[in-house]
Amino acid sequence: MSLRNDADTIIRDSIHAVLPDEAVRRALDGKDFGSGKVVLVATGKAGWQMAKAAYDVLGEHISAGVVVTKYDHVKGPIGNFELVEAGHPVPDANSFAGTAKAIDLVTGLSPEDTVIFLISGGGSALFEKPLIPEEDLERLTKELLASGADIVEMNTIRKRMSAVKGGKFAWLCEPAQVYSIVLSDIIGDPLDMIASGPAYPDSSTTEQAKAIAEKYHLTLTPQMEELLNEETPKELSNVETVINGSVRELCKAAAESAKALGYEPILLTDSLCCVAKEAGSFLASIAQTHQEDGKSLAFLAGGETVVQLGKFDDDEPHDGGRNQEIALSAALGIAGLTDTAVFSVGSDGTDGPTDAAGGYVDTTTLDQLGGADTALWYLAQNNAYHALEKTDGLIMTGATGTNVNDIAVVLIKR
């Protein structure tokens, strides 16, 4: 259990280091909001945690607030704020209702007033006022999730179907000022793509949106095609933005934790952005190459991969996520090695539509499953959850209160 214990320690330490509490406090400490009214809107998987930190700093100086976050992510009341739990990764009625409350809150403000807008990953689904029928939005979202499109491609399409994405929420706040504090879950921290950029000018073009729709053969209605042709806001004069967390910090914290456990940490990348199964195979190859180095090593890769859904028997379950697929794929390549493990975890505590944060495998995983053919079958079914469940390989953290991409680690213990 030594490798698993080390993995759990690295996961715990790295996630704790990127909780948004202190960063939100730093962003607000000493900030002068003048004599006008201050209201708060928070959205994303870290919405509650960020809102709680803001309230701890400013208290009743915030006259009202609305928080829209994922189901089971509210950890208790915050002053007089309205707390709404909603659907992710597909928007639902609560997403729309919570967003409507936020719009009502910022309507009719004056130029002296301020909207503190706290944004984290997951906001693309959670914070939504669609310009298309709800059933069309649900279908389009599911198509995008199944297509293998990366998060930037998905959000380029989604912001054009929305009345709040692509800078449009900041428009709705005018003439009030918007102080936006952002927890980044996208590689490179593109502010117009995090949560689909509700308070930041859009950098994408209609040509790019059309190319993405064609690339993934999206089923578009005439209304959707018309919206693809509309430009989103390119200038916003009422917004100040601060980024307070990213995957780089997650990788740094994981490296420090691994070093404290006796491993030599080696950062492979903080921009991992390929198919999950391919990432798992690559990490296993790293493990194979360094078996004879004679020292304990920890190879780290931060970022966000994608899952490509296969054609499978619909009678079987298809439960899993990108981190679980990375781990299960890596199990094929590390079988037979010595004291080696691979784990991958989402910093938000959820991986795909499951209750797991990610997956852990070691050199015994393949034997526990009954061999490579069984592992390959589970991968083909996009059912890594149930494979890892059989081997005690699910990583369960619960909602963490943060969201700064994923981290995958190869541990070689000597």
List pLDDT tens digits, range 330-342: 999 999 999 999 9
Tell me how far apart the alpha carbons of residues 336 and 174 are, in angstroms, rounded to a whole number: 62
The per-residue pLDDT for range 187-220, each reduced to its tens digit, is 888 888 999 999 998 889 999 999 999 999 999 9
Q: CA angle 15-3-17, nearest 5°?
A: 15
Plot region of 326 (φ>0 → left; ψ -120 to 50 → alpha; else → beta):
alpha
Residue 1 confidence (pLDDT)? 62
Q: Which residue has tokens 């781990």?
A: 327
Residue 403 confidence (pLDDT)? 87
Residue 313 confidence (pLDDT)? 61
Residue 148 confidence (pLDDT)? 83
Select from 289, 359, 294, 366 the least CA-distant residue to 327.
Answer: 359
Which pLDDT band, with edges at 50, 70 and 90, does 318 fall under?
confident
When mean pLDDT is compared across 26-35, 124-133, 337-346, the lowest value belongs to 26-35
Residue 328 confidence (pLDDT)? 98
Residue 246 confidence (pLDDT)? 85
pLDDT at 303 over 90: yes
3-state secondary structure of 412: strand
For each of the domains in the chain, give its residue range(s) and CATH number, in order of start. Answer: 2-14+247-412 (3.40.1480.10), 19-243 (3.40.50.10180)
pLDDT at 223 over 70: yes
pTM: 0.80
The per-residue pLDDT for range 30-67, each reduced to its tens digit, is 899 999 999 999 999 999 999 999 999 999 999 999 99
User: Residue range 77-81: average pLDDT?
Assistant: 97
Which pLDDT band, with edges at 50, 70 and 90, does 314 fall under?
low
Residue 245 confidence (pLDDT)? 79
Tell me how far apart the alpha carbons of residues 160 and 208 are, in angstroms, rounded to a whole number: 12
Residue 215 confidence (pLDDT)? 95
Which pLDDT band, with edges at 50, 70 and 90, does 358 fall under?
very high
Residue 3 confidence (pLDDT)? 97
Residue 290 confidence (pLDDT)? 98
> What mean pLDDT is reported for the chain?
94
In DSSP notation, 336-347 reads: T-SSEEEEEEET
The per-residue pLDDT for range 382-413, each reduced to its tens digit, is 999 999 999 999 999 999 989 899 999 999 99
Task: Confirm if 379 and 341 have CB atoms less than 8 A apart.
Answer: no
Which pLDDT band, with edges at 50, 70 and 90, does 312 fall under?
low
User: Residue range 151-158: average pLDDT?
Assistant: 93
Q: CA angle 82-139-169, nearest 5°?
A: 40
